[in-house]
Structure 1
């Protein structure tokens, strides 16, 4: 009743004295981003369904984020700070969705390793930017609702923008090891084929 992972469709795969490995059949394809084991996909039908759900979800999200941005820009609703923060968040989410949609198309060209690495870099960056702007939205709400009578911060949006677009993080990651965004063969079935449509 208070939230959490559903145990429906989950089973114990392996148990030792040190660890227990569970498997579930109800996660979305976004869970592949966190799949550290990189095990092959089980069912081609499930992979196809999850791929279509992902495309439809990202496409609808991109359309409505574009409508939101156009509304704020056309009707000049961008004057106050909350609107500016929302516009930055919408831009970050729109770019994340567009890179995610283009990523599937670029995956059809496995010989273009540079494109794959740059796409992974952009996915990492725009996901980080989206999380950062969501956090900054929360910080601004805290200042607006809890610390109502605080001093007006100078260059408020400039400071938020420096924190909200943290390019230095992904630059450090790629500077440490250029193979951090390397190719990993996941999303393949046991026979070696992929889930291409």
Structure 2
């Protein structure tokens, strides 16, 4: 009727079991867009991971890691690199739906590295504020050690998983009309 949405025209059920239904369609409506976006996402993450690795290696190889801004940048790049790598490996790990522990650990690592990346970005801003706005140089003992403890927030994800390990992984989203749920 011109309002958009999913079209079942040209689609048929190829095979159906209790646990899986395979459909075949002779057209690619929104599926093609999702496939293209997924493809672009993986290419973008791969390119990002390559250049983050090049940045880290450049800073380490040319001994540019002596000052604090360089150390913070290396930590940020490392957190983003690990986040990209876990995200890229996540699609491969999704091929093993029976490995619930693998799903939980992948979700844990995604949470941890995303949190670390945001934290290091915030610490970069804090350092820029201290360096540029505070005219008088404030000497803080063990500056990078304190930043590292804040920048790699392991305690947060440990608390989340200690509260309930079901916080990561498969979660039920509700009941179907026949009273069943999507829980395993």
Give the structure-2-normalised TM-score.
0.76
Which residue of the other structure, out of 130, 134, 147, is the alignment partner of 2:117? 130
Aligned length: 147
- Are 1:49 and 2:26 an aligned pair? no
Determine the C-alpha separation between the residues in 2 that align with 1:141 and 1:96. 24
Determine the C-alpha separation between the residues in 2 that align with 1:110 and 1:170. 23
> 1:105 aligns to what?
92
- Are 1:81 and 2:81 an aligned pair? no
> 2:136 aligns to what?
149
Determine the C-alpha separation between the residues in 2 that align with 1:54 and 1:184. 25
Determine the C-alpha separation between the residues in 2 that align with 1:61 and 1:184. 30
Q: Which has the higher contact order (CA 8 A, sep 6+)?
A: 1
Determine the C-alpha separation between the residues in 2 that align with 1:148 and 1:86. 22
Structure whose alpha-carbon radius of gyration is higher: 2
Over aligned residue pairs, what C-alpha RMSD do you find? 1.8
Q: Deviations over 1:64-122 (max 9, x none)?
A: 00000010000000000000000000000000000000000000110111111100000
Determine the C-alpha separation between the residues in 2 that align with 1:50 and 1:137. 31
> 1:115 aligns to what?
102
Offset of residue 184 of structure 1: 4.4
> 1:37 aligns to what?
none
Distance 1:107 1:95, change over 3 A: same
> 2:158 aligns to what?
171
Determine the C-alpha separation between the residues in 2 that align with 1:157 and 1:101. 30
Q: Deviations over 1:153-172 (max 9, x none)?
A: 11000000000000000011
Which ranges in structure 1 are unaligned for 5 or more consecutive residues? 1-10, 12-41, 187-197
Runs ≥4 residues deviating over 2 A: none
Determine the C-alpha separation between the residues in 2 that align with 1:125 and 1:98. 13
